[in-house]
Amino acid sequence: MKIGVISETLQGERRVALVPNVAAKLATFQVAVQADAGRQAGFTNDAYRQAGMAVEADRAALLSTADVVLSVQAPRLEDVALLQSGAATISFLQPATQGVVIEALAARGVTAFSLELLPRISRSQSMDALSSQASLGGYKAVLMAANRLGKFFPMLMTAAGTIPPARVLVLGAGVAGLQAIATARRLGAVVEAYDVRPTVKEEVKSLGATFLELELESQVGQGGYAREQSEEFLTKQRKLLAERVAKADVVITTAAIPGRRAPLLVTAPMVKNMRPGSVIVDMAAETGGNCEVTQPGQVVQVDGAWIDGTTNIPSTVPFHASQLYASNVTNLLQHLVSNGQMKLDFTDEITKGCCVTHNGQVVNERARQMMGATTSSQAA
């Protein structure tokens, strides 16, 4: 079985799907990487060769001969046209925005797996690329905020006087939020956090942050994610959060619902009430943003506050993001392969959960819903 690793073509994407030190796990397979695929992440062609991988300059030849193609982002339509019928792909397929590509993969007879659709169970933790990348994103978001904020994060006591610590508010206490809390605390900030899931309260407190107690209904959805909330709930939530946002020097927003627009948490009036020079880093910018005035892919100043809408934050730390992603992908691949060949068991929760296309059809109900499909199909 030949495994092909292609370079990423999306603007700003610096990660690579497989790195040399992880490739050793796939030593029993023929593994080839497109030339310079790892360059932006810090991995040279020679490093891949030393790890026993072939380096191929011809992308089209690699795609047309690989049995399994690994990438970070979904393949392009022109890439899909080159794949063998019966081949497989593993990536972040993003069904909500890549429906045309998914339909093309099905039509081509490709079996495609999407990492964001992995079921959140204990057996899949080592494959959970969403969590590994979110953790890096939460860390980097705090550093981005600290770099832009015109204040110290920690308390500073000097002969000239005492500088109080920065106040950081983290909205959303999933993987990214918890890492943001931990990073802000390590930098010496006073941290508050809010999440619609009361079950995360103890995790927040264990990191040294204050959990904002808002007497509102629990909003826990499928798989432990926050579920989509009613407009009535959101209106009450914004009112209760307005005071905390106004007092914060930094706000990190991390709330996301898979396949849906990010919930609006920070309104334009809230931004207007923030102190000049305050910073918001909106980690949900790619899906519309948690802040009303976020401009995806841009850093703007609104009413004196900085709004950072940087997208694909994990890609700004590409070396370690690629290492973690490569481990996730390799662990999933090893789960899908038996005796050197891909053998799919659709009674297995992991396989069934992340397989999107197979035998010429879109077989994943969650993916179909994200794509706007009205009918369902089951994998055999």
In the annotation, is 131 catalytic? yes
In the annotation, is 132 catalytic? no
Contact 54, 30 (CB under 8 A): yes
The continuous run of DSSP H or E covering 134 comes out as helix 129-148
Query: One of 34, 91, 131, 278 is an active-site residue; which one?
Result: 131
DSSP letter string, 74-101: PPPHHHHTTSPTT-EEEEE--TTT-HHH
In the annotation, is 308 catalytic? no
Comparing C-alpha atoms, which of 267, 262, 215 is closest to residue 245?
267
Comparing C-alpha atoms, which of 64, 66, 107, 113 is closest to residue 93?
113
Residue with tokens 């932006």: 40
Which pairing describes strands 167-171 and 250-253: parallel, antiparallel, or unpaired? parallel
**Token pair recorded at residue 105:** 């993969």
Interatomic CA distance for residues 324 and 322, integer angstroms: 5
Query: One of 79, 128, 249, 282 is an active-site residue; which one?
Result: 128
The continuous run of DSSP H or E covering 169 comes out as strand 167-171
Would you give the DSSP letter of residue 220? Answer: B
DSSP letter string, 309-326: --S-GGGGSHHHHHHHHH
In the annotation, is 225 catalytic? yes
Interatomic CA distance for residues 160 and 354, integer angstroms: 58
Q: How many residues does the chain have?
A: 380
Query: One of 46, 123, 125, 206 is an active-site residue; which one?
Result: 125
Comparing C-alpha atoms, which of 8, 4, 67 is closest to residue 41?
8
Per-position b or e across 252-263, b if 16+ CB within 10 A of its CB: bbbbbbbbeebb
Give the amino acid at 239: K
Comparing C-alpha atoms, which of 28, 29, 32, 30 is closest to residue 18?
32
Query: One of 30, 67, 84, 120 is an active-site residue; which one?
Result: 120
Interatomic CA distance for residues 202 and 271, integer angstroms: 29
Torsion sign across C-alpha atoms 230, 234, 237, 239: negative
Residues designated as active site: 120, 125, 128, 131, 225
